[in-house]
């Protein structure tokens, strides 16, 4: 790491890495510079095939998913987990979790191809995910788990060619594997990435190493521009910039310039917009079509409307002395600007998804929007069909289309649950009115109820797994920051400074080491207020890490109030632990199974006794008969003794003597 005080004398390295396939690999990759995978792709593929064969034998038929995922499952047993761990042997055991996620993808693909066995393949995919979770949670070596199992990049063979290297963290996010994402080890790894305790190696971006200054309590060692690569700090800067962007918009829309001139607030607003547009275009160029998503389309729409407003403002400014036209275009520009107000406020949700409340709600909205595609697909077909019918009726009147606007408005009102029947009584009577009644019934009674049912189903599915969905969203957010293709983090609109003050004038002729130091200097200057605060926070955090290590705890451990006096308690010495162990229930096995096991032991004892009796009958006078006779004598003696104790005054003595003679 380059320290702040060593900024001008440290040797730099070329740390720019292009993205090859960000849809399947969320971390920066560059195939021509990346070292070969630690395990040959052919061996990784063999491990995945072994696991696939194991799961096909463990789940031979369709089963309920709850039997796979419940704790202490009798299907995914400890023996099954141990066998899965051994699929890679001693040398390749680190890639087992990655291979299980590959196997899950294989089963999902097989379910799409073989629809007759789709349920079976889906259950096997669930079993593969559950196995990966149990292996992650059973690993006690945290460093090995995070660096080798979760963050090490592996490849498989596809058409005899190695696939794009990826790791288990990426695979789980890509596959939306909620079970794996919700495991404790996975979330610990995400937490370390989010805090910047695990960082990419400058020399080998496929490796993740521990942050060297995690336990360094020196303030100046944390005042480092490279720390802006930490996802938590990038997210904080983005939230601050979004609030400033919203403030600029509020100031611009509330101070209308009737003369059409641009003031400072509006100028900053459009400069920010230019920075965001360049950032979106850069990511789209690097990632490709897979970058396009809901929020990208949303932001692009917002930026397009702001650009339209800016162009109209320039047109108004260029009219000069034509006050009427200048006022017209200026008014139109402000109308476009005012139209974007809801989108500005909704845009804040994009950066607040790290908070649990907003994150869960955004997941619900995202799923609802995806489910609504079914409704809109049906609606478009219905609208086109009825619109063609109304146009045909309109043409039939006077061979001209005259009521197109009226028909479209009436149909849209019906979609918005506000139908207007006035006017259709004279529209090709009686066919126009009857057709509009049918259209209203189809849209308001059938299609809208289908939409409500889809929304209700999506809401129930998400709220049942709200915590897991939030953790998946948070993991995806973290990986989006980690996958930054450039180490020099210039968050929009600061990317304009990089483009026009660094890249264009200096990158093409400056030596690489000098250019890197110049980038670090500019980043330190821009982010200096934040770096001063983050250095203070990381210094305090270093003290906590050192304290936890002295106690022998994990680096991120928090001392809770119930742990403050725990060291003074010795439950084994005072007998409390023994009493608890004697009364605790066995939750691993059902009560009915425990009773059946006890009955089985008793039946086994009875069976042994009957075998001894049977052997005695067959052998005449032998060991078996002697044993039986001795048993009978003993029983009679016990009966006599009991009789003597019960009736010692009268016949008890005789009974006792008889028992003794016997």
Domain boundaries along the sequence of the chain: 4-229+494-535, 231-351, 365-465, 593-661
Of all residues in the chain, the percent with pLDDT exceeding 90 is 30
Q: Return the pLDDT at 130.
A: 94
188 pLDDT above the threshold of 90: yes
22 pLDDT above the threshold of 50: no
Least confident of 30-44, 72-86, 137-151, 363-377: 30-44
CA distance 125 to 56: 10
Q: Return the pLDDT at 119.
A: 93
527 pLDDT above the threshold of 70: yes
Least confident of 58-72, 211-225, 418-432: 418-432
Least confident of 365-374, 619-628, 641-650: 641-650
Q: Return the pLDDT at 146.
A: 92
CA distance 260 to 537: 47
**Average pLDDT of the chain?**
81
Most confident of 120-124, 195-199, 457-461, 513-517: 120-124
CB distance 327 to 344 below 8 Å: no
DSSP annotation of 208 reads E
By CB neighbour count within 10 A (0-12 exposed, 13-18 middle, 19+ buried), where does 26 fall?
A: buried
CB distance 455 to 372 below 8 Å: yes
Give the pLDDT band (50/70/90) at residue 394.
Answer: confident
CA distance 519 to 502: 8
304 pLDDT above the threshold of 50: yes
Q: Return the pLDDT at 483.
A: 64
pLDDT tens, residue by residue, 146-180: 989 999 989 999 988 998 888 899 899 989 899 99
Q: Return the pLDDT at 28.
A: 39
Peptide bond into 430 cis (omega under 30): yes
Closest CA to 105 of 17, 32, 174, 28: 174
pLDDT tens, residue by residue, 611-635: 888 887 665 544 444 444 454 444 4
Residue with tokens 């996975």, as numbered in its chain: 186
Higher pLDDT, 506 or 7: 506
Give the pLDDT band (50/70/90) at residue 557.
Answer: confident
Least confident of 320-324, 336-340, 463-467: 320-324
Q: Return the pLDDT at 60.
A: 92
In our burial notation (b when 16+ CB lie closer than 10 A, e otherwise), range 50-88 reads bbbebbeebbeeebeeeebbeeeeeebeeebbeebbebb
Q: Return the pLDDT at 9.
A: 39
Instruction: Give the CA count within 13 Å in the CB-facing half-sphere of 83.
Output: 14
Tokens of 126: 């669930």
466-469: list long-range contacts, CB under 8 Å, 24+ apart.
Answer: 466/360, 466/363, 467/182, 468/178, 468/179, 468/181, 468/182, 469/178, 469/360, 469/363
* Mean pLDDT confidence for 88-105: 93
Give the pLDDT band (50/70/90) at residue 111.
Answer: very high
* Mean pLDDT confidence for 258-278: 88
* Mean pLDDT confidence for 178-194: 93
19 pLDDT above the threshold of 60: no
Instruction: Give the CA count within 13 Å in the CB-facing half-sphere of 162.
Output: 16
């Amino acid at each position: 790491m380059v320290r702040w005080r060593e900024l001008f004398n440290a040797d730099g390295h070329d740390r720019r890495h292009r993205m090859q396939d960000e849809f399947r690999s969320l971390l920066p990759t560059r195939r021509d510079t990346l070292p070969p995978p630690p395990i040959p792709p052919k061996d990784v593929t063999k491990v995945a095939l072994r696991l696939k064969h194991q799961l096909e034998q463990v789940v031979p038929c369709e089963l309920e998913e709850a039997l796979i995922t419940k704790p202490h499952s009798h299907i995914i047993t400890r023996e099954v987990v141990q066998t899965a761990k051994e699929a890679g042997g001693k040398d390749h055991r680190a890639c087992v979790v990655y291979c299980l996620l590959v196997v899950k993808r294989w089963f999902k693909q097989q379910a799409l191809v073989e629809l007759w066995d789709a349920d079976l393949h889906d259950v096997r995919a669930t079993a593969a995910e559950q196995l990966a979770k149990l292996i992650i949670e059973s690993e006690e070596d945290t460093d090995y788990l995070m660096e080798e199992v979760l963050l090490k990049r592996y490849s498989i063979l596809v058409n005899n060619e190695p696939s794009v290297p990826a790791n288990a963290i990426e695979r789980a996010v890509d596959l939306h594997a909620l079970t794996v994402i919700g495991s404790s080890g996975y979330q610990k790894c995400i937490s370390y990435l989010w805090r910047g305790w695990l960082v990419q190696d400058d020399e080998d971006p496929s490796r993740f190493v521990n942050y060297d200054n995690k336990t360094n309590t020196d303030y100046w060692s944390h005042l480092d521009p490279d720390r802006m690569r930490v996802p938590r700090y990038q997210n904080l800067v983005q939230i601050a910039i979004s609030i400033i962007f919203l403030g600029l918009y509020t100031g611009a829309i509330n101070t209308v310039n009737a003369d059409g001139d641009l003031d400072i607030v509006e100028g900053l607003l459009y400069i920010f917009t230019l920075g965001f547009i360049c950032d979106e275009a850069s990511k789209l160029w690097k990632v490709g079509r897979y970058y396009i998503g809901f929020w990208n389309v949303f932001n692009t729409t917002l930026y397009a409307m702001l650009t339209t407003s800016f162009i109209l403002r320039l047109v108004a400014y260029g009219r000069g002395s034509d006050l009427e036209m200048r006022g017209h275009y200026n008014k139109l520009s402000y109308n476009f600007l005012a139209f974007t107000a809801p989108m500005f406020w909704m845009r804040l949700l994009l950066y607040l998804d790290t908070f649990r409340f907003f994150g869960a709600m955004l997941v619900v909205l995202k799923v609802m929007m995806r489910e609504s595609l079914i409704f809109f697909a049906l609606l478009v077909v219905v609208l086109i069909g009825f619109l063609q019918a109304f146009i045909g009726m309109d043409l039939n009147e006077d061979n001209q289309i005259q009521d197109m606007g009226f028909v479209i408005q009436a149909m849209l009102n019906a979609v918005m649950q506000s139908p207007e029947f006035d006017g259709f009584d004279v529209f090709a009577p009686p066919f126009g009115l009857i057709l509009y009644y049918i259209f209203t019934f189809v849209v308001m009674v059938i299609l809208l109820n289908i939409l409500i049912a889809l929304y209700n189903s999506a809401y129930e599915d998400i709220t049942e797994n709200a915590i897991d969905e939030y953790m998946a969203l948070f993991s995806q957010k973290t990986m989006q920051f980690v996958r930054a293709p450039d180490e020099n983090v210039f968050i929009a609109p600061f990317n304009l400074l990089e483009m026009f003050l660094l890249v264009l004038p200096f990158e093409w002729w400056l030596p690489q080491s000098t250019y890197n130091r110049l980038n670090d200097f500019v980043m330190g200057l821009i982010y200096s207020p934040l770096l001063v605060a983050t250095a203070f926070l990381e210094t305090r955090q270093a003290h906590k890490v050192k304290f936890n290590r002295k106690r022998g705890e994990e680096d991120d451990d928090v001392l809770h109030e119930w742990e403050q006096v725990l060291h003074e308690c010795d439950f084994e010495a005072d007998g409390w632990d023994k009493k608890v162990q004697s009364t605790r229930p066995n939750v691993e096995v059902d009560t009915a199974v425990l009773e059946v096991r006890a009955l089985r032991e008793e039946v086994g004892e009875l069976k042994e006794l009957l075998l001894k009796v049977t052997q005695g009958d067959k052998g005449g006078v032998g060991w078996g008969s002697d044993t039986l006779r001795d048993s009978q004598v003993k029983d009679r003696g016990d009966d006599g003794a009991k009789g003597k104790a019960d009736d010692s005054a009268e016949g008890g003595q005789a009974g006792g003597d008889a028992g003794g003679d016997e």
